[in-house]
Structure 1
Amino acid sequence: MTRPVDGIRKLHVAGDLSIHVEERGSGPVLLFVNNFFANVDSWRSRTEELAERFRVVTYDMRNQRNSSIDLGVSWDDHLADLHGLIQDVGSEPVVLVGSSISTMLCRDLLRRYPNVARGAVFVGPAFSPYGGRRRKATVRTWLALLAAGGPAQLFEQLYSTVMSDETVERLGGAGFSGMRAAFVSDHESEPTRANLLSCLDAPDVPQLLQELSCPIQMLVGEADFQWYPSALAEVERLIPDCRTAVLPGVGHLPYMEAPTEFQRVIGDFVDSLAVETTCERLAGGADQVI
């Protein structure tokens, strides 16, 4: 049984626009940032163990299920909403968890406001350590599919790209049909298009990763089409404090295909941040004594 939601609220972000926010659990804050094809429901059953130990905060972006529609939304608007939510959550630095395109939102937020987070988990990042030409070409392909056949046609391409071969075979035709129906129910063409257009303005310069000052946990699937070993090695070179976990037999969305291991990696990462903070405080106290 899914743990009940402890708090639901609407957070005003601009004009008459608001975003839907949910919270479960207590303790250090884990703030999950949706990719453009997820919503708060995507996390509920996949963060159960984390909600036993942490305060899990999830929200729907503009143009997602429970939040306001904004067909003129920009990348900076999404960044401002995320920053506003962090301020609303409280004064303690959070740990961000981004997936796919939202890892780039987390990256840009941490560059602008380096003190808002103790660390971040980048799950199947959409950025590349080499540049953004392929990402932008992929987004334009998605926009073309959406225009031609609506969310159903877009889903067909997404499914074959983000899921591992093993999962596609295991779910079969019935699994595919069920997931497509859910996707179509959750995604309207124009709001989805607006969010996709906004990310075309996101910067793709690899050197931006060098500006990240907090610890970063890379969490990728072994079968992710983008994250082959040399790409991981390059991103580890670029990010000053980078740890990497690769889940075997998993594709672009580890939280869907391996939720238990997904939660274990995140929990271990947050625990390591607590240990490092304690050690820094002890070292600082020792320096004062000396």
Structure 2
Amino acid sequence: MPGYENLSRMDLTYREDTPRIPTREGVELYYESRGEGTPITMVNPFFLTSPSWRVFSEQLEKDYRLVSYDMCNHGASSHIPEEPTWDEHITDLIGLLDALEIESTYLIGVSTSTVLARDMAIKHPDRIKGLVLTGPVFGPRGMRRQRQVQRAWLRTLQTHGVAGLYEHMYPEVFSAEMNEFLGSPGYLAFREAFSALSTVEDLVNGLTRAMKDEHKPQMLAGIQAPTLVVIGDDDFLLGPTGAKELAGQFPDGRHEIMPKAGHVPYVDDAEHFQALVHKFIGEVEARA
């Protein structure tokens, strides 16, 4: 089933009976855990929330334990006065894994959260079994382009609000194929969902934090975890050549290109994305 159709089944409601997990003073995280087996932890970008993963990970849930969560200052997790640093987000993730008794996990980062996934693998290699970097916001030369894009998004958000940001982002983030398939009805329906995902304050904080990362290609040489770079061939930030070069900078890296998919390729084709993750983990586990 194409991701476009999965969008109509998205359930963004929170499970009120799920206890929050305290990770540091004043911070509790909302999380969801589904399935059994080898753990996979899915880290949202600043524009999506934990419940949005459900409809796009149903196949993985059959074979793995899936953990998703809202980062501090986003979604249903604690909101504190100052946006956490990347190091504080890493501390929160470690606290979440400890509370769930997960010694090591595969980590899926998407868009801005690929920065968190990268840094987690560098600073806590013993906790990471493998990385899946989906639509990474850093390329083989750096991330100047991403910061320019985020600066433009932030300006639109501050001037025109969430609706204006959605109008700005939609043709960039989503593939041409998906745009044509959904047409105006899909555009309008997804706008309602997007507006319900985050507040202006959450998005401003997230975009501001994301622009403060300084990616240097040599950082990747220190990541020993097997790494899979996944992009859509219609990703507006990183093309197939860039993805191949980026994967080559990891000691144990590889890449996959999803046809006709955009910056968040699992939305375009959830089944294909899950099959790639399943294959990657199978190969890594077979070598262990």
User: TM-score scaled by structure 1?
Assistant: 0.90
* Pair 1:119 & 2:130 matched: yes
Amino acid across the alignment from 1:226: L
* Pair 1:134 & 2:145 matched: yes
CA contact (8 A) 1:63 1:192 kept: no
- Pick aligned residue for 1:80 from 91, 95, 103: 91
SS in 2 for 1:119: strand
Amino acid across the alignment from 1:245: E
Aligned match of 1:152: 163
**Structure 2: distance between partners of 1:104 and 1:237:** 17
- Pick aligned residue for 1:57 from 54, 60, 67: 67
User: TM-score scaled by structure 2?
Assistant: 0.91
Could you tell me which runs of 5 or more consecutive residues in structure 1 were left unpaired when the two chains were aligned: 278-290
CA contact (8 A) 1:31 1:56 kept: yes
State the shift of 1:14 in Å.
Answer: 2.7
Amino acid across the alignment from 2:243: L
- Pick aligned residue for 2:244 from 230, 233, 253: 233
SS in 2 for 1:226: coil
* Pair 1:108 & 2:110 matched: no
State the shift of 1:61 in Å.
Answer: 1.0
CA contact (8 A) 2:131 2:228 kept: yes
Correspondences of 1:181-220 after superposition (within 5 Å): 181-220=192-231
1:79-114 C-alpha deviation (Å, 9 max, x unpaired)? 221222222232431000110111110001111111
SS in 2 for 1:170: helix
State the shift of 1:156 in Å.
Answer: 1.1
CA contact (8 A) 1:79 1:109 kept: yes
Whose radius of gyration is greater, 1 or 2?
A: 1
Aligned match of 1:264: 275
* Bigger relative contact order, structure 1 or 2 (CA pairs below 8 A, ≥6 apart): 2
State the shift of 1:192 in Å.
Answer: 1.5
State the shift of 1:2 in Å.
Answer: 9.2
Could you tell me which runs of 5 or more consecutive residues in structure 2 were left unpaired when the two chains were aligned: 1-8
Correspondences of 1:140-179 after superposition (within 5 Å): 140-179=151-190
Percent identity over paired residues: 32
1:17-63 C-alpha deviation (Å, 9 max, x unpaired)? 21101100000000000011111121101111111110000001122
RMSD: 1.9
CA contact (8 A) 1:121 1:217 kept: yes
CA contact (8 A) 2:10 2:52 kept: no
Q: Where in structure 1 do 4 or more consecutive aligned residues deviate above 3 Å? A: none
SS in 2 for 1:204: coil
